[in-house]
Amino acid sequence: MDPEVSKSPKAFPIANPLSNFSTQKEPISEFAEGEKVCETCRTTGCEISEHPQKPLCEFVSAYRFCVNSMIDFDLAEKHLKTLNENKDEKKRVSEKLISLKTKTENLLAKKIEEFNKRISQKIADLEAKVDSNFMNLEWNFLEAESCIKSNNIEVLNNVAVDDIIGFFNKETKSPKDLESMINLVKKNSDQEKIKKNLSDMETILYSKVLSSGQNCDFADLKQDEFNKELTNNCEEFARQVEFELESPAIFKLNKSKYYSNPQNLKFKKDITDKLQKSYTIDSVFCAFSTFDGRSYVAWGCPTFTVEVFDLLQDKLVKSLSGFNQHIYITRHFFDKATKKDYLLSTSYSKSCKIWDCQDFSNILTIQNCHTGSYLYSGLLIFDPQNSDSPLALTVAPNENIKVWDFKGALVNQINTTTDYTYYINVWYDDKNNNEKNNIFLINANSKDVKIYDFRTGLVYKTFYNTEQQSAWHMCALVEYISQKPYLFESDGQGNLRVWEIETQSVFKKVSVEGINLRGICLWNELYVLVAGTDKTVKVINYMQEKLEGVLDANNNILCTLDKIHHPLHGECLFTGGIDGKIKMFTQGDLMPRAVGADEIITEK
């Protein structure tokens, strides 16, 4: 349900009201009504052959569905030839691409050189060891054979140790008997030595075959290990390079980042069937990408642990313990100032826990947050005016919102005792050259939706529907449309409303009869997805105030929706319901769109 975060190094760390954190992005619509807009390059007149943006449009269209995030250098070079309007810009972009290409080639050359040296040394050591051992075994074998052949004495079978001891204990022994017994003992010793070295000889002979290159199975294994290591290093290198680049104009893609039609989403797989089922509101799970490019889904389960699922590895990688009662929420937050990712969860035990996503260690536990046990919501706030540490907020019905520092100390309270609060969110008012960078809290409760000034604690705006009886609200967020902030909220009467915040008037509204609406996921500039109690996802074109589609999802009431750019499947939707399942939906066989160097993202 939370949006993406641009990670351009020049971007100021301002949170997006839709989620927890984002930088400024372009308005949802910047063109006049009725004006034809190219869906690829977001410009007008692109259908004209001589349109100046035509080459860029073609490049973006081809680039968008690349399998990975590496640049297609041939395609980029082709585009550079068309970039004649600004020679300085062309030179700068060209230098960036050449630098990236050089770094990539150097990385590959270094890894291949290290691999060759490592394997060559191992082969040389093996050959030396083989030669040495083989010579020793060959000498021992020949010596033993020589001793056996030199003895013409008839050897008695089944000679026991006791027989040998008895012979030497005899008082009288002829020289011939003594010589025969010595040769017998020596012969048996040589035979035992040959038997003992037989397996070693087989190993050495096999090693001889390997060193001659007649059997290369071991090389195949080493090659697989090398390929895996190389792939991991290339992915890490790609992320590092992307963070270093300065927004090249060649990657000026649409900031909404989700280009697909959500009506084309198809069920792919179940992530889990162990999602918490009871007392669920919203944010029962989250799908997110960390600053260093890892992609996860995290959720609370009935065993009172928070499970972390790695989307690239397609498996559970962490189980976070510490709670002993029902877990209400699991939410992801990103601090751009410190480049750190966090998870926050609340529990029926009245406690709140925060984990560092670098290693998923528990860095803060706040006990006895509230008098009541229903900690339905919580969040982290990153205030530029309080840069010492993030602030954690918790809330329970008809209690104050409490503000905690990262030492676990209560530093402030906001009076919300008249609100039976279900859900809180944050809106960072950073648009329109707002130097104050105001921070607002969104409180969705059983009666209305209120927006509070976070720093003063005062009510800023109240949104109440006068057309019908009050209804509970379980999700609310703010997004900008043409540089103006609008409030999106869903309620228990089946309504999705988009409010103009300044005038507190309804801007758009879509109603679905007979159901409650819960979690909201703003898909792109055309569609918003809403979770319904009828087990389906509502695909709503909010600008046209039209329910355009329905996705059959879980087997029980839906609570939470979230989106992410999956590392393998591209644009994906995740749904969570009280059937205990988190389901993943993808765009079928469509290739995932690559992430440009100026739009490294973190899902929220």
What CATH code is carried by the domain that includes residue 369? 2.130.10.10
Same domain? For 287 and 410 the reply is yes
Strand partners, 487: 478, 499
User: 73-82 and 54-64 helices cross at what angle (nearest 10)?
Assistant: 170
Give the SS3 label for residue 64: helix
Contacts (Cβ under 8 Å, ≥6 apart) of 446: 397, 419, 420, 422, 470, 472, 473
Q: Same domain, yes or no, for 484 and 537?
A: yes
How far is Cα 58 from Cα 77, in angstroms, rounded to an integer?
A: 13
Are 390 and 499 within one domain? yes
Q: Are residues 303 and 229 in the same domain?
A: no
Position 280 scores a pLDDT of 78
The reply to whether 53 falls in a domain is no
Same domain as 270, residue 160: no
Structural domain includes residue 201: yes
Q: How far apart are alpha carbons 238 and 104 in whole angstroms?
A: 8
In whole angstroms, how far apart are CA 592 and each of 22, 64, 587, 595? 22, 8, 9, 9
Q: Which two tokens stand for residue 376?
A: 């339905």
Cβ count within 10 A of residue 1: 27
In a domain, 598, yes or no: no
Domain annotation covers residue 226: yes
In a domain, 337, yes or no: yes
Structurally, the chain folds into a number of domains equal to 2
The vertex-504 CA angle with 499 and 509, nearest 5°, equals 30
104 in the same domain as 159: yes
Across the 604 residues of the chain, what is the mean pLDDT of every consecutive 10-residue run? 35 30 36 47 47 52 42 56 62 71 76 80 80 72 61 49 63 66 61 54 50 48 61 56 35 52 94 88 93 93 96 95 94 91 96 96 96 94 84 96 95 94 92 73 94 95 79 91 92 94 94 93 93 95 94 93 91 94 82 35 32
* Residue bearing tokens 């004649």: 84
Asked whether residue 290 falls in the same domain as residue 394, the answer is yes
DSSP class of 337:
T
**Comparing C-alpha atoms, which of 275, 280, 279, 331 is closest to residue 307?**
275
- Percent helix, strand and coil across the chain, each to the nearest 5: 30, 30, 40
* Boundary-marking domain end, from 255, 289, 315: 255
What are the CA-CA distances from residue 358 to residues 296, 297, 334, 393, 419 (Å)?
A: 12, 15, 12, 22, 36
Residue 573: how many CB atoms within 10 A of its CB?
27
Residue 145: Cβ within 10 Å count: 12
Of 191, 220, 255, the residue that ends a domain is: 255
- Quote the domain boundaries for residue 266: 262-586
Do 394 and 368 lie in one domain? The reply is yes
Does residue 595 contact residue 601 with C-beta atoms inside 8 Å?
A: yes
Rounded Cα distance, 528 and 497, in Å: 11
Q: What are phi and psi of 104, to 5 degrees?
A: -65, -45
The alpha helices in 212-279, defined as continuous H runs, are 217-244
**Residue 384 forms part of a structural domain:** yes
CA distance 83 to 52: 10
- Looking at the structure, tell me whether residues 324 and 241 fall in a common domain: no
Within a domain: residue 19? no
HSE-CB for 107 with a 13 A CA cutoff: 18
Q: 466 CB contacts (<8 Å, ≥6 apart)?
A: none
Q: Distance between CA atoms of 309 and 319, rounded to whole angstroms?
A: 9
Report CA Rg, the chain.
Answer: 35
d(CA 133, CA 247): 61
Is residue 417 helix, strand or coil? coil
Partners of 462 in the beta sheet?
450
Q: Are residues 174 and 267 in the same domain?
A: no
Does any domain span residue 71?
yes
Q: Torsions phi, psi of 327, nearest 5?
A: -100, 125
Residue partners of 450: CB distance under 8 A and separation at least 6: 416, 419, 442, 443, 459, 461, 462, 463
Is 246 within 8 Å of 596 (Cβ atoms)? no
Q: What is the DSSP letter of 556?
A: S
Least Cα distance to 337 among 381, 296, 378, 294 occurs for: 381
Closest CA to 501 of 463, 465, 475, 454: 463
By the 8 A CB rule, do 284 and 576 touch? yes
C-alpha separations of 52 from 46, 86, 165, 447 in Å: 8, 13, 105, 53
Tokens of 562: 């979230």
Show the CA angle centred on residue 243, arms to residues 240 and 244, nearest 5°.
90
**Claim to verify: residue 300 and residue 231 sit in the same structural domain:** no
Mark which of 255, 272, 292 sits at the end of a domain. 255
Structure tokens at 480: 């900008």
Are residues 487 and 516 part of one domain? yes
Mapped onto helix, strand or coil, the DSSP state of residue 415 is coil
